[in-house]
């Protein structure tokens, strides 16, 4: 097509219209009313607008369709309609953008009927692939799974630490009364498990489970850790992960101290439901869900960047401190830090 007859770009007009609609809805109370909160959730709209603009200018069909499809999937992730958040999905799916770019380069800018049909068909196929990958998240094949168990060894208290570069990690109570930790650990072929255990000294033991090695492409739920810790003795529980999904349920664990750290991904943390406890929950980029057993007095000291917040009815906010409606002598205090993403607080039965 003659560049002089090419339609002018609609990107910025569409962006202004979209921003106006979002800010209007925020002012009317239908969504988070902070600029950073709106950006943190709705930034994938940029992919959709870019794709629509490309279609309007009759540019790269495959790239335009992939942009619209990818933006829609990322937005659904931010709105919690999918298992994964947008940043986690983008880290998994970004190579599809290279595929779309390569298709458009291969077919050039010819607008013959067969050329257009081919590019549209391939673009739709890529969009279907995006949706499939986002929905089913297939497991990788290069994974080894092993059982792990460490006896209580007479300990009356313990420090336990779990650390892995990427994957899925689930930590909860419910190990046998004679077990300190028991469960299964999945690791990519390139990694090995390095347990470090110190026998009880003055009744207190310590255990560190770490996945050691380099993972070149840490995508998909390739390394699931499912571990249960002792629910009888007092515990200090530390969980650290580079990228993935971290689930820590301390509702029936006598955790006096806890530390949950995730660089990129989603953390679901259930605070201890009995007794006083304190600790940290940090996510650099992604979503942090804090689940509070009903009747638990919780105080969250927050340090938040570009973050949206969802709180139960009745929770109070004051100078970065969020407090539950329940009050009592036993208090769970959590230092919450999120760079970019969302904070969701839920009350559970």
Residues 201 and 336 in one domain: yes
Residues 223 and 332 in one domain: yes
Give phi and psi for 46, each to the nearest 5.
-60, -40
| DSSP-based helix, strand, coil % in the chain, nearest 5 | 30, 40, 30
Q: How many CB atoms lie within 10 A of CB 271?
A: 24
Residues 193 and 301 in one domain: yes
How many domains does one find in the chain?
2
Alpha-carbon Rg for the chain in angstroms: 24
Contact 46, 78 (CB under 8 A): no
Burial readout 283-299 (b: 16 or more C-beta within 10 A, e: otherwise): bbbbbbbbbbbeebbbe
Select from 91, 106, 136 the last residue of a domain: 136
Q: Which of 337, 195, 348, 328 is nearest to 271 (CA)?
A: 348
Tens-binned pLDDT, residue by residue, of the chain (349 aa): 445 556 678 888 888 888 888 888 777 776 666 666 677 788 889 999 988 888 887 667 777 888 888 888 888 877 766 666 677 677 777 778 888 777 777 766 656 666 666 667 777 787 787 777 666 554 344 567 889 999 999 999 999 999 987 778 999 999 999 999 999 988 766 667 889 999 999 999 999 998 765 443 344 445 689 999 999 999 999 999 887 889 999 999 999 999 999 988 899 999 998 789 999 999 998 899 999 999 999 999 999 988 889 999 989 999 899 999 888 889 999 999 999 889 999 999 8
User: How far apart are alpha carbons 47 and 75 in whole angstroms?
Assistant: 10
Residues 113 and 18 in one domain: yes
pLDDT value, residue 79: 75
pLDDT value, residue 149: 95
Give phi and psi for 250, each to the nearest 5.
-105, 20
Residues 192 and 269 in one domain: yes
Q: Mutual orientation of helices 95-107 and 61-78 as an angle, nearest 10°?
A: 160
Residues 130 and 250 in one domain: no
Select from 81, 109, 136 the last residue of a domain: 136
Residues 150 and 47 in one domain: no
pLDDT value, residue 324: 94
Residues 130 and 148 in one domain: no
Q: Mutual orientation of helices 45-56 and 61-78 as an angle, nearest 10°?
A: 160
Residues 182 and 235 in one domain: yes
Distance (Å) of CA 162 to CA 44, 233, 249, 346 = 33, 18, 14, 25
pLDDT value, residue 138: 46
Residues 252 and 320 in one domain: yes
Please give the model's pTM, rounded to 2 decimal places.
0.66
Select from 87, 103, 136 the last residue of a domain: 136
Residues 256 and 117 in one domain: no
Residues 102 and 223 in one domain: no
Contact 334, 271 (CB under 8 A): yes
pLDDT value, residue 188: 65
Q: Which domain holds residue 115?
A: 3-136
């Amino acid at each position: 097509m003659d560049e002089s007859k090419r339609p002018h770009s609609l990107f910025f007009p569409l962006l202004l219209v979209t921003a106006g609609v979002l800010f209007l809805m925020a002012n009317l109370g239908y969504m988070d009313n902070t600029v950073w909160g709106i950006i943190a959730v709705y930034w994938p709209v940029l992919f959709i607008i870019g794709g629509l603009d490309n279609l309007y200018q009759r540019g790269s069909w495959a790239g335009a369709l992939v942009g619209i499809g990818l933006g829609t999937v990322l937005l659904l992730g931010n709105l919690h309609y999918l298992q994964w958040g947008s940043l986690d999905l983008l880290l998994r799916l970004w190579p599809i953008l290279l595929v779309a770019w390569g298709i458009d380069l291969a077919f050039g800018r010819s607008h013959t009927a067969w050329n257009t049909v081919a590019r549209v068909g391939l673009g739709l196929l890529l969009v279907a692939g995006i949706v499939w990958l986002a929905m089913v998240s297939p497991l990788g094949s290069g994974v080894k799974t092993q059982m792990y168990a460490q006896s209580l060894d007479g300990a009356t208290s313990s420090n336990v630490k779990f650390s892995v570069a990427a994957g899925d990690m689930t930590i909860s109570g419910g190990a046998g009364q004679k077990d300190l930790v028991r469960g299964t650990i999945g690791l990519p072929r390139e990694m090995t498990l390095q347990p470090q255990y110190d026998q009880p000294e003055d009744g207190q033991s310590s255990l560190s489970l770490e996945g050691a090695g380099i993972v070149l492409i840490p995508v998909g739920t390739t390394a699931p850790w499912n571990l249960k810790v002792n629910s009888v003795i007092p515990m200090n529980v530390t969980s650290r992960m580079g990228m993935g999904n971290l689930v820590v349920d301390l509702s029936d664990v006598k955790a006096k101290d806890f530390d949950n750290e995730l660089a990129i991904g989603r953390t679901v943390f259930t605070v201890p439901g009995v007794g006083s406890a304190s600790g940290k929950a940090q996510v650099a980029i992604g979503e942090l869900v804090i689940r509070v057993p009903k009747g638990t007095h919780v105080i969250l000291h927050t340090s938040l960047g570009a973050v949206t917040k969802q709180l139960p009815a009745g929770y109070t906010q004051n100078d970065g401190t969020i407090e539950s409606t329940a009050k009592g002598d036993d208090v769970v205090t959590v230092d919450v830090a999120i760079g970019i993403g969302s904070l969701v607080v839920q009350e559970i039965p």
